[in-house]
Structure 1
């Protein structure tokens, strides 16, 4: 079976991940094995998801409400940030007011974290409708804080999910990074 391995940071590099707008932890769970990282911190304020995160990542402090985090306390402690920031104001099923809405507007807090913490890599996720309700804002904001971004929309059926929802994914790295994105295919004898 072919296994895909991220070669972005090289072999033997272990990255500390901060998962913002964590929900139940799905994005971080997907990213950690790809980059050879571990969830070191989470930020989630809802009680149900917070309980799941505490069980799933007992050693990862929950920083709570993203709007109240003191980002300076995380400088030098985080290598990667993941964020599936709220989609309610962007989604076709929601209010459609866009990225500056009361819920999806926490994007500015995600951006504050990126600006202050300066992670080596950022992974973002949202609904595909972001393309018309805020993509230019996200890309401009990332560029203004010195990050280059690549994005793609993927249909859920591509991952064998039984629904047609499209998701938007973005990877961003500091513009002054000398790294190239790279995925290497290799045969895995154990899978």
Structure 2
């Protein structure tokens, strides 16, 4: 599986997916320190930098997934709760990337506060936009402590699949 990573940070997704053979096609990270980590750890993967300046269409038909978590501070209950007026408004850049690339899958990660930010309007906008693009959607809040990480860290995961998902196979 080939993917584009937005708001890459130090790229936890690639660390998790490397053993599966999944391949990053590019990273999009703007901040200096995480960009230096990416350059050192993944020198063969380009970092395109600022998501607001990218034409994502060149990745259409070249990747299977777009992954990323737009900045969460404005959604976080520990933050100022600025919603989409703050940095969390970069969520629309994530939507634009998915619209231009049209991957089979996308994965968006954020803090659980995204569900209640602006009385739920911000998350509703995200769901509405992805639905208009033809994605089937599912989301869950998961806690890292149940996945072998020695900390309580709850995160919201939204997964989208382009078109109808295949029917589940019977397991018994």
User: Structure 1: 5+ residue runs without aligned partners?
Assistant: 1-14, 185-191
Q: Secondary structure at the match of 2:116?
A: helix
User: Which residue, out of 73, 79, 88, partners 2:58?
Assistant: 73
How far apart in 1 are the matches of 2:75 and 2:113? 6
Distance in 1, Cα, partners of 2:74 & 2:153: 16
Structure 2 partner of 1:111: 95
Distance 1:56 1:72 in 2: 26
Higher-helix-fraction structure? 2
Partner of residue 60 from structure 1, selected from 45, 56, 73? 45
For residue 148 of structure 1, what is the aligned residue in structure 2? 136
* TM-score, normalisation: structure 1: 0.79
Aligned pair partner of 1:121 in 102, 105, 125: 105
- Out of 75, 80, 86, the residue aligned to residue 90 of structure 1 is 75
Please give the alpha-carbon distance, in whole angstroms, between the structure 1 residues aligned to 2:129 and 2:14: 22
Change (3 A) 1:41 1:179: farther
CA distance in 1 between counterparts of 2:167 and 2:90 reads 29
| Pick aligned residue for 2:13 from 8, 27, 32 | 27
TM-score by length of 2: 0.87
Tell me the CA shift for residue 28 of structure 1: 3.3
Name the counterpart of 1:4: none
Alpha-carbon contact 1:79-1:119 (below 8 Å) kept? yes
1:41 equivalent to 2:26? Answer: yes
> In 1, Cα distance between the equivalents of 2:157 and 2:17?
12
1:131 paired to 2:119: no
| Counterparts of 1:88 and 1:19, CA distance in 2 | 19
Q: 1:25 to 1:180 in 2, by over 3 A?
A: farther
Count of matched residue pairs: 166
2 CA distance for matches of 1:170 and 1:159?
A: 18
* Structure 2 stretches lacking a partner, 5+ long: none
Deviations 1:84-131 (A, max 9, x none): 111010001111122x12311111111011011001111111001111
Higher relative contact order (CA 8 A, sep 6+): 1
**Deviant stretches of 4+, over 2 Å:** 27-34, 159-165, 177-182
Over the residues paired in the alignment, what is the CA RMSD in angstroms? 2.0
